[in-house]
Amino acid sequence: MNSFLMPEFETLRASSLYCQRCQKAMPVRERLLLVLPLKEIYDYLCTGCASSLGQREVSLGDLKMTRRAHR
């Protein structure tokens, strides 16, 4: 049983994470948590109990690529 392993936040791309309160993998909702000059930090919230399951940092370089792709 690998259910109790923590997710690897470095490669955090999945739309569901293991929630300790729900005791199973739950779909997560991404929320903009903090905006810094060089990066933005997003918070992953469990859709079942609304607890924070992880965070993701987006560097300015990624944002520039996203905006260029959007155009």
> Contact residues for Zn ion (CB under 5 A)?
19, 21-22, 26, 46, 48-49
Q: Do residues 5 and 20 touch, judged by C-beta distance below 8 A? A: no
Closest by Cα among 15, 14, 12, 55 to 36? 55
Q: How far is the CB of 46 from Zn ion (least distance, A)?
A: 3
Tokens for 28?
Answer: 């997560």
Residue 50 vs 69, nearer CB to Zn ion: 50
Residue 19 vs 54, nearer CB to Zn ion: 19
Q: How far is the CB of 58 from Zn ion (least distance, A)?
A: 24
Residue 16 vs 39, nearer CB to Zn ion: 16
Closest by Cα among 50, 62, 46 to 7? 46
